[in-house]
Amino acid sequence: MPIPGGLNKPVDRTVTINRQLDHSAHKNSGRLFPLSILADNIRHAENIGSLFRLADALGIQHIYLGGESACPPNPKIRRTSRSTEKSVAYSQHDDAVELAKALQAKKLLLVALEISTQSLALSDPAFQQKIKGRELCLVLGSENTGVQNELLKLADISVHIPMQGQNSSMNVATAAAIACYEIIQKL
């Protein structure tokens, strides 16, 4: 008697095992998105290293290291970045506010990642409308004080990651990863 639902079909005995690929299996697409990062006063070298690794992984064009941000060459940056600081474009700038003005003069849209009185959630459709077809620079602030007020005032848009827990902030590199991934999906 046949089993209902086609269960009497022959069983395929070949088994495919899910396994992790080694690094040599990865193919670099070389794709860069119209997105840069301005890291202002991010002093922990491990966070800067994580930003380099993020930029390499997601195809971010440039990292601008402003103010007191840690800067290569630095063994902690190299270790955390897995040496991606050698392949990701970056530059160091003493004054992040002047840099931000120069980027705006080049028609880059400054997007501050900070919970503020006027910030939009990353998922807000109004944010997607504002960034469509634009070249962006995501502004990140210090681990302790966030985006400085002068940069917040200059920003064309402020965005935040909706937080569900008791804390109102997260690690800057973690927040940057979430924001960059979300932004790239909207470009």
Residue 39 CB contacts under 8 Å (≥ 6 apart), including other chains? 48, 51, 63, 64, 65, 66, 69, 140, 172
Q: What is the pLDDT of residue 4?
A: 60
pLDDT tens per residue across span 2-25: 556 666 666 666 778 998 988 888
Domains of the chain, CATH where assigned: 31-186 (3.40.1280.10)
Q: How confident is the model at residue 30 (pLDDT cuts 50, 70, 90)?
A: confident
Model pLDDT, residue 7 = 64
* Contact present, 77 and 44 (Cβ < 8 Å): no
Question: Do residues 88 and 133 make contact, with C-beta atoms less than 8 angstroms apart?
Answer: no
Residue 3's pLDDT is what? Answer: 59
User: Residue 160's closest CA among 124, 136, 131?
Assistant: 124
- Does residue 32 carry a pLDDT above 60? yes
- For residue 55, give both structure tokens: 């930029």
Whether the pLDDT of residue 116 is over 80: the answer is yes
The reported pLDDT for the residue numbered 6 is 60
In this prediction, residue 8 carries a pLDDT of: 67
Mean pLDDT across the stretch 41-50?
98
> Measured between alpha carbons, how far is residue 140 from residues 8, 107, 150 in Å?
59, 19, 13
**pLDDT recorded at residue 28:** 85
- Asked if pLDDT for residue 31 goes beyond 60, the answer is yes
What's the pLDDT at 12? 67
pTM of the model: 0.89
What is the DSSP code string of 78-135?
HHHHTTGGGTS-EEEES-HHHHHHHHHHTTPEEEEES--TTPEETT-HHHHHHHTT--
pLDDT at residue number 16: 84
Strand partners, 92: 65
Q: How far apart are alpha carbons 99 and 64 in whole angstroms?
A: 9
pLDDT of residue 25: 83
Mean of all residue pLDDT scores within the chain: 94
Alpha carbon distance 183, 14 (integer Å): 41
Question: What are 134-152's pLDDT values in tens digits?
Answer: 999 999 999 999 999 999 9
Q: Which of 12-16, 35-39, 62-66 has the lowest mean pLDDT?
A: 12-16
Q: Is the pLDDT of residue 155 over 70?
A: yes
**Do the beta carbons of residue 182 and residue 174 sit within 8 Å?**
no
